[in-house]
Amino acid sequence: MKLLLLTKRMLIRAGGKTSLAVIALAAGTGTLTASGILHNVLTHVPGAIILENMILIMGLSSLLMGSIFVFFIMFNMFIDRREIIGVLKTIGYPNKFILHLFVLQGALLGFAGSLIGVVFGSNFVISLIFGWRIYIGAFPFSREYPYTAWSGFIFIIGLLLPTLLSYYVAMKAAEIPIVTALSHVPIFYEMSWKFLSSFNKYRYYALRRILRNPILYILLFLISLITMLSTTLTTTFSIVCLTNLPYYRQLLIYIISRAGIIISFIIVFTGSAGYYAIWKSENVRRKMEISVMKTIGWTNKDIIKITLYELLFIVFAPYLISTVLSISALIFIYKITNITILLISFTVATSIAAFLLVLSLLVIFSTVKKSVIENLKILEMELLAEFR
């Protein structure tokens, strides 16, 4: 059977996106594993719960983001390989083969990510990097905190979450009728909603775009939400720790200045890179539309207005949600009423939102700026490259 060969080659072809997913997964599982050590170190320190929460939030959000990437990769694979799925079924491959093909890919990504994460977040490696002061022991079962069991649990979560998400896609792929797979009908049929007609044309067009490909926009929404929320919370917590808890300053500076900042940096990096990758792949389809619209007589301003309405959903809405959530969490759960700290969290969220906004507008500007013929030429080349 060609199952393993196909799995391997398809993953290699997906390339950059797969490595991004693995990095995000590894960062998530690594942070969560390392949080076990932190728990062990901080058990006798009062008030350390904030620091632990911070690390947990970072780890969980990174893990979630990695799983969403895996889902996106598998979903993209399904859309791109629709005809191939149809052909495999026509030749006589059972639905099970296609199910296995997709689940195996998701599971392999999950396995690689969580293995790297658990190894790098392990007691041994962390002590190797940060000093043997926090080394718990080679066989830490007997300790008060079951560190090995914790890492095993994290490994299983990191493996299961992407696998389950890709299982969902695989089921969709396996059950698709051959006729649908081979016809060039879009998988999401356009919805005609009556209330849309009351909108102005920019808003209407933006909403139609979102509804035509809802999964993609929901993914973008989730990615920007997770990036903003987690980074805002972690940075604020680290500042709270640094300013309000001076008597174990040494340990806190020690951990925040190394692991915390590196990992929140990874979250911002993977989040914005994933956002950029998805937005860019959407933009290939947009090129054709922009060329047609410009030929008909729409101006550049009109096109950018439509894009701004879309960004309202995928950048501005997550920004609002994350600011409100993080500030209310700070005030009501952790009882922090220091204006400077609240302002800092607000600034962090705003800067990330601005960064994502600039990133997505840059892509659009680069397309809009070019002439119709230039765009069509690029589109042709990109489509040819995809069609290979």
Partner 1 sequence: MSIIELIDIYKKYNSKYILKSINLTIDKGDFVVITGPSGAGKTTLLNIISGIDKPTKGEVIVAGHRLSKMSENELTFFRRHYIGFVFQFFYLVPELTVIENVELALDLIYPESERIYVIERKIGVRTIKYRTYERAVKVLELVGLGPEYYNRFPDQLSGGEQQRVAIARAIANNPQILIADEPTGNLDVRTSQKISEIFHKINKELGKTLVVVTHDLNILRYANKVYQLENGTLRKGVFER
Q: Which of 78, 70, 80, 62 is closest to 17 using CA atoms? A: 70
DSSP 311-323: HIIIIIHHHHHHH
Question: 122: alpha, beta or left, given left = phi > 0 and alpha = psi -120 to 50?
Answer: beta
Cα separation, 189 vs 319, in Å, equals 30
Which lies closer to partner 1 via its Cβ, residue 49 or residue 191?
A: 191
Q: How far is the CB of 162 from partner 1 (least distance, A)?
A: 21
Any contact of residue 83 with partner 1 (CB under 8 A)?
yes
Cα separation, 38 vs 80, in Å, equals 44
Distance of CA 333 to the CA centre of its chain: 27
Task: Please answer whether residues 162 and 24 qualify as being in contact, where contact means their C-beta atoms are separated by less than 8 angstroms.
Answer: no
Question: Per residue in 306-342, is it b (16+ CB within 10 Å) or e — as a string?
Answer: bbbbbbebbbbebbebbbebbbebbeeebebeeeebb
**Which of 86, 106, 140, 260 touches partner 1 (CB under 8 A)?**
86
Any contact of residue 344 with partner 1 (CB under 8 A)?
no
Cα separation, 348 vs 233, in Å, equals 9
Tokens of 252: 């806190």
Task: Please answer whether residues 130 and 254 qualify as being in contact, where contact means their C-beta atoms are separated by less than 8 angstroms.
Answer: yes
Binding part of the chain for partner 1, among 177-185, 192-200, 251-259, 354-362 by CB under 8 A, reads 177-185
**Which of 19, 43, 90, 295 touches partner 1 (CB under 8 A)?**
90
Q: Which of 311, 359, 330 is closest to 232 using CA atoms? A: 330
Which lies closer to partner 1 via its Cβ, residue 89 or residue 286?
A: 89
Which lies closer to partner 1 via its Cβ, residue 96 or residue 133?
A: 96
**Which of 10, 118, 315, 379 touches partner 1 (CB under 8 A)?**
10
Any contact of residue 2 with partner 1 (CB under 8 A)?
yes
Any contact of residue 201 with partner 1 (CB under 8 A)?
no
Any contact of residue 171 with partner 1 (CB under 8 A)?
no
Which lies closer to partner 1 via its Cβ, residue 179 or residue 339?
A: 179
Q: How far is the CB of 170 from partner 1 (least distance, A)?
A: 17
Which residue in the block uniquely carries the two structure tokens 């170190």? 41
Any contact of residue 277 with partner 1 (CB under 8 A)?
no
**Which of 138, 179, 296, 339 touches partner 1 (CB under 8 A)?**
179
DSSP 161-205: HHHHHHHHHHHHHHHS-HHHHHS---SSPPP--GGGGGS-HHHHH
Residues 92-131 that bind partner 1 (CB under 8 A): 92-95
Q: Which of 265, 226, 375 is closest to 23 using CA atoms? A: 265
Any contact of residue 88 with partner 1 (CB under 8 A)?
yes
Which lies closer to partner 1 via its Cβ, residue 108 or residue 233?
A: 108
Cα separation, 71 vs 106, in Å, equals 8
Helices (H), 329-371: 339-369
Which lies closer to partner 1 via its Cβ, residue 10 or residue 266?
A: 10
**Which of 115, 164, 182, 321 touches partner 1 (CB under 8 A)?**
182
Cα separation, 243 vs 239, in Å, equals 6
Tokens of 182: 């081979």
**Which of 46, 91, 133, 340 touches partner 1 (CB under 8 A)?**
91
Cα separation, 370 vs 96, in Å, equals 46
Q: How far is the CB of 95 from partner 1 (least distance, A)?
A: 8
**Which of 178, 185, 191, 362 touches partner 1 (CB under 8 A)?**
178
Binding part of the chain for partner 1, among 4-12, 35-43, 158-166, 334-342 by CB under 8 A, reads 4-12
Query: Site size for partner 1, by CB under 8 A?
Result: 23
Q: How far is the CB of 208 from partner 1 (least distance, A)?
A: 22
**Which of 39, 89, 100, 294 touches partner 1 (CB under 8 A)?**
89
Which lies closer to partner 1 via its Cβ, residue 93 or residue 111?
A: 93
Contact set with partner 1 (CB under 8 A): 1-2, 5-6, 9-10, 13, 83-84, 86-95, 178-179, 182, 388
